[in-house]
Amino acid sequence: MSDPNPRSVSGAEGPPRISVVVVNYNAGDFLRLCVESVLGCADIPVELLISDNGSSDGSLQRVRERFGDDPSLTLVENGANLGFAAGNNRVLGRTLAPYLLFLNPDCVLQADTLGRLVAFMDATPDAGMAGCVIRNPDGSEQKASRRRIPDPWVGLVRFLHLERFSRRLRGKRLNLVDEPLPEHPVRVEAISGSFMLVRRAALDEVGPLDEGYFLHCEDLDWFARFARSDWNIYLVPDLEVVHHQGACSTGRALRVEWHKHRGMLRFFRKFQAEDYSLPFRVLVVSGIWGHFAVLALAQGIGRVADGLARALARVTAP
């Protein structure tokens, strides 16, 4: 989309080849590190747009103080927590490039990551989206780095750990990080939602993220819609990103789980429910909320136990 007054961009000269969109909600100093790594990708013209969902931890202010004079950076303050999908969608109309990277604020890129990914997309016209290997800070691969689109059977195997009892069931695992990395880019069902490089032409056809999801599963929804529109999703295994997972949800574990399970239910109803009988659909819905209830009970018991331990420590202190 055109802009009568195009912004300057970081990196090499010319119009932006990639628009990086980051939704921030209290990411702390990770946001500064993320911005620094994006603006440091000097091999390709980049623009960076931060959509801030009402952060109150000073993270946006620190970025403004450190990078506010950079013409390739745009800060958008939404004033409230709109959720991940809506936060991303809010700034789409401001982007200029033929490729868009939807990036979590707790990710750190290497200097050549964006240039090499754009080169891959240029050479692979059927690629609607691409991701890379997502690493934890300790170097291990994150579970969501390579995965399948979950269906009720995959969910059952995952929650009950049935793969431990049968080799045949191991093929039903959701996450594939225990398998050897491929040597070359490969088509996959799903990549990590923390790092999604999207071709604008595919985005225009498939549509933006579904704002009916607040947090979690909006990426799976997107992957399913890309597949239905015959756009392929690729994993590029020789590129890596470090993801400090959970930086924006610290201290809100139960609320995050609520949104995750609500998202699972929405995904099932949109893409899978019609393939199953009514009794099985009821079983799936009951299983989703039953799983959330178990997690909530466990967290409640944990908080009570911690409170009792602290009270006992105060009573027994000399």
User: Residue 200's pLDDT is what?
Assistant: 98
CA dihedral 252, 258, 260, 262 (to 10 degrees): -150
Q: Which of 206, 318, 309, 214 shows the shortest CA–CA distance to 267?
A: 214
Cα 24 from Cα 239, distance rounded (Å): 24
User: Residue 156's pLDDT is what?
Assistant: 65
Task: Give the phi and the psi of residue 186 in degrees, each rounded to 5.
Answer: -135, 155
Angle between helices 253-271 and 278-316 (to 10 degrees): 180
Tokens at 82, concatenated: 């709109």
* Architecture of the domain whose range is 18-243: Alpha-Beta Complex (3.90)
3-state secondary structure of 159: helix
CB of 47 closer than 8 Å to CB of 9: yes
CB of 90 closer than 8 Å to CB of 78: yes
The string of pLDDT tens digits covering residues 146-182 is 888 888 877 666 666 666 665 655 556 677 888 899 9
CB of 26 closer than 8 Å to CB of 105: no
User: Residue 169's pLDDT is what?
Assistant: 56
Cα 305 from Cα 8, distance rounded (Å): 55
Cα 130 from Cα 198, distance rounded (Å): 7
CA dihedral 148, 149, 154, 159 (to 10 degrees): 90
For the chain, domain boundaries: 18-243, 253-316
Cα 115 from Cα 43, distance rounded (Å): 6
- Sequence-ordered alpha helix ranges (H) in the chain: 29-39, 59-67, 84-89, 113-123, 152-160, 167-170, 200-206, 218-228, 253-271, 278-316
CB of 66 closer than 8 Å to CB of 40: no
Task: Give the phi and the psi of residue 297 in degrees, each rounded to 5.
Answer: -65, -45
Q: Which of 43, 42, 21 shows the shortest CA–CA distance to 105?
A: 21
CB of 87 closer than 8 Å to CB of 78: yes
- Adjacent-strand bridge partners of 236: 132
Q: What is the pTM of this model?
A: 0.86
Number of C-beta neighbours around residue 303 at 10 A? 11
Cα 231 from Cα 199, distance rounded (Å): 10
Residues in the chain, pLDDT under 70: 1-13, 42, 155-173, 247-251, 304-318
Q: Which of 103, 120, 123 shows the shortest CA–CA distance to 39?
A: 103
